[in-house]
Amino acid sequence: MCSLRSVGPPHIIPNTVENQKRFSLYFHKIAHQRYNPPTAIVDVVHSAALALIKKTEMKIREAHRNEYTISTDKDKLDILSIHKFLANETDWANGIPINTLKTSIENSLNFGLYYENKQIGFARIISDYSTIAYLGDVYVLKEYRGKGLSKWLINEIMEHPNLQGLRRWILLTDTAEWLYKKFGFTGIPNPEFYMEKHNPNVYNGIKN
């Protein structure tokens, strides 16, 4: 009989439907090709795989301050509102196609900032939840700035339980150094060691 402990599952990105499918198919393939068990056993392995995936999913976190809320619930995100701001009001994501944005959100840990039920800010984390995290797409709508909301948003991100003990955090900014310095961010001490591959025109010609 197949032992789940003897099988090394593929890398899991928490809370993605695609990885649930990959994980399930992986165990299904292992069961058939290496052990060829009865259908009932395959069903047990299938269920166990999905249960293991579910355990890796992050709990939704919410913080409240008067009428303001910060939530990691993807279902609350107003994609059209986020896209409108990022595609039209930023330099770093100018012209980003909405489908590209949707994919980036699906594969990130997202933090929505809300006034009552209105989306007024956003940030997302790309991470392996073990060694490194990239903080990006941070914004608060202009009419809600000056209320300490950006500081609150970054604080909630930095205190997320799945982002503790990381060796390195990365972000890019040319407008809010004062904010990130409060959380320990500094300039790159040895910029000559830093490399990147940057295509600023990547969204040109991509249809929304």
Q: What is the pTM of this model?
A: 0.74
pLDDT at 204: 84
pLDDT at 20: 55
Helices (H) and strands (E) in the chain, counts: 6, 6
- Residue 148 to residues 137, 140, 142, 179, Cα–Cα distance (Å): 18, 10, 12, 10
- B/e letters for 68-89, b = 16+ CB within 10 Å, e = fewer, are bbbbbeeeebeeeebbebbbee
Range 62-193 classified under CATH 3.10.310.10: no
pLDDT tens, N- to C-terminus, the chain (208 residues): 444 433 444 444 444 555 555 655 655 555 555 545 556 555 555 555 554 444 456 899 999 999 999 999 999 999 999 999 999 999 999 999 999 999 999 999 999 999 999 999 999 999 999 999 999 999 999 999 999 999 999 999 999 999 999 999 999 998 899 999 999 999 999 999 999 999 988 898 776 6
pLDDT at 4: 40
Instruction: Give the residue range(s) of CATH 3.40.630.30 domains in the chain.
Output: 62-193
The DSSP code for 59 is P
